[in-house]
């Protein structure tokens, strides 16, 4: 028996058939994901684009903004387009080329987001094109009126898990090559914290076993993920020593970084990725919050262990959402106000704390 024969087909066959009909009749695809793309966003978008090209389609990935340099180890990333490049990166601004691709597309595949607004500034351009839109995502509450085919499974470890399952159920497992396998694995690896959380289902490891058959260097990918520039290491030390605050009564920790501090450490996109998880390594800490000052808002990242539902906290107080143990949002106020709101909200969630 082949490994793929043991993998559960969790996607509704009707959704597969609907997607197949669209893919068969379309030729010019644009793949999109959420702004400030993380490893799963990058891996899932690259993998589905690579798959479509193997099927003889024209496929381009368009990112709303430039992925961080910390994701350069994912193959194929720097070959794609950016709608609005960041000035501090070496990636050229390809906005005109991206706009043309979006306007000429006869199909969109959108990964790792549940609502078009998460595409950022290019959302209006994408939604203005009447071409069919296929969503492949693992977040709660997809915007049902915005997509023609919705493949949504919040129980999945990552969007990349669904990308593999989608290819499998399309009958195209044979099209999986080393590059596609690597792209899918990178997304699953990064979105689960290297398979520490959201990865208890046997399905996850059956897919990993299948991907490893393509012969990529798993150990090197994990080493590359751990590598970081000196500025990130120093910023991490600064956060842990001087910024982190504990609220021991509610098993919580929080910290913030303002624009002056970010500039001091020459912060670049991706440099603070994963910082919010650091306090969870402390005994008894069950919930962590990271507040980062942006131009017109405060970016909020929330993480938890056990049954503490940070997605509900994000929805109620920070205009956001996500998964039970990993969520985020935005706050229209000061850093101090965002922190104070977090501390005031904790008693409302005390019933979820581990005894």
CATH number at residue 35: 3.90.1640.10
175 and 62, same structural domain?
yes
155 and 8, same structural domain?
yes
139 and 201, same structural domain?
yes
129 and 235, same structural domain?
no
Instruction: Give strand ranges (E) for 78-236.
Output: 81-84, 107-111, 133-137, 149-152
Task: Out of 180, 200, 224, pick the residue that ends a domain.
Answer: 224
Q: What is the CATH number of the domain that holds 329?
A: 3.10.310.30
Domain count, the chain: 2
168 and 29, same structural domain?
yes
Crossing angle (nearest 10°) for helices 159-169 and 178-191: 140
Nearest to 6 by CA among 186, 185, 205: 205
Nearest to 72 by CA among 295, 225, 191, 217: 225
pLDDT at residue number 87: 42
Task: Out of 169, 200, 224, pick the residue that ends a domain.
Answer: 224
At 285 the three-state DSSP class reads coil
170 and 35, same structural domain?
yes
**What are 253's strand-pairing partners?**
246, 288
Task: Out of 178, 203, 224, pick the residue that ends a domain.
Answer: 224
pLDDT at residue number 282: 97
pLDDT at residue number 322: 86
Nearest to 180 by CA among 28, 43, 39: 43
pLDDT at residue number 93: 57
Encode the chain (355 residues) as per-residue pLDDT tens digits.
799 999 999 999 999 999 999 999 999 999 999 998 999 999 999 999 999 999 999 999 999 988 988 999 999 998 898 887 554 444 455 888 999 999 999 999 999 999 999 998 899 999 999 999 999 999 988 999 999 999 999 999 999 999 999 999 999 999 999 999 999 999 999 999 899 888 999 999 999 999 999 999 999 999 999 999 999 999 999 999 999 999 999 999 999 999 999 999 999 988 999 999 999 999 999 999 999 999 899 999 999 999 999 999 999 999 998 889 999 999 999 999 999 999 999 999 999 998 8
288 and 203, same structural domain?
no
pLDDT at residue number 81: 87
pLDDT at residue number 85: 56
pLDDT at residue number 88: 43
Sign of the four-CA dihedral 327, 332, 338, 344:
negative
206 and 67, same structural domain?
yes
Q: What is the pTM of this model?
A: 0.90
pLDDT at residue number 196: 87
303 and 275, same structural domain?
yes
> Where in the sequence is the domain holding 276, given as residue range(s)?
230-352
Q: Report the b/e string of 318-344 with b at 16+ CB within 10 A.
A: bebbbbbbbbbbebeeebeebbebbee
């Amino acid at each position: 028996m082949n490994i793929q024969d043991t993998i559960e087909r969790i996607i509704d066959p009707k959704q597969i058939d609907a997607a197949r009909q669209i893919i068969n009749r379309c030729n010019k695809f644009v793949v999109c994901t959420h702004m400030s793309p993380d490893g799963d966003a990058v891996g899932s978008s690259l993998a589905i684009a690579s798959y479509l090209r193997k099927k003889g389609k024209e496929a381009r990935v368009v990112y709303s903004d430039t992925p961080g340099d910390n994701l350069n180890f994912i193959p194929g990333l720097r070959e794609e387009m950016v709608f609005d490049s960041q000035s501090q990166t070496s990636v050229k601004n390809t906005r005109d080329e991206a706009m043309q691709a979006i306007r000429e597309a006869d199909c969109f595949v959108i990964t790792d987001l549940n609502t078009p607004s998460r595409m950022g500034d290019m959302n209006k351009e994408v939604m203005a094109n009447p071409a069919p839109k296929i969503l492949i995502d693992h977040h709660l509450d997809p915007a049902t009126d915005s997509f023609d085919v919705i493949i949504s499974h919040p129980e999945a470890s990552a969007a990349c898990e669904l990308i593999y399952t989608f290819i499998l159920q399309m009958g195209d497992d044979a099209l999986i090559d080393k590059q596609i396998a690597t792209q899918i694995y990178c997304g699953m690896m990064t979105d689960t914290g290297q398979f520490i959380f959201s990865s208890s289902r046997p399905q996850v490891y059956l897919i990993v076993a299948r991907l490893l058959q393509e012969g990529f260097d798993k150990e090197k990918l994990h080493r590359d993920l751990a590598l970081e520039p000196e500025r990130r290491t120093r910023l991490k030390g600064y956060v842990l020593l001087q910024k982190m605050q504990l609220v021991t009564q509610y098993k919580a920790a929080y910290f913030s970084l303002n624009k002056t501090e970010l500039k001091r450490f020459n912060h670049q996109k991706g440099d603070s990725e994963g910082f919010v998880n650091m306090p969870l390594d402390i005994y008894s800490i069950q919930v962590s919050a990271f507040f980062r000052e942006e131009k017109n808002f405060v970016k909020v990242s929330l993480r938890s262990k056990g049954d503490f539902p940070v997605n509900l906290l994000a929805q109620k107080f920070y205009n956001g959402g996500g998964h039970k143990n990993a969520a985020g949002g935005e706050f229209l106020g000061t850093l101090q106000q965002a922190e104070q709101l977090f501390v005031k909200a904790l008693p409302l969630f005390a019933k979820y704390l581990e005894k």
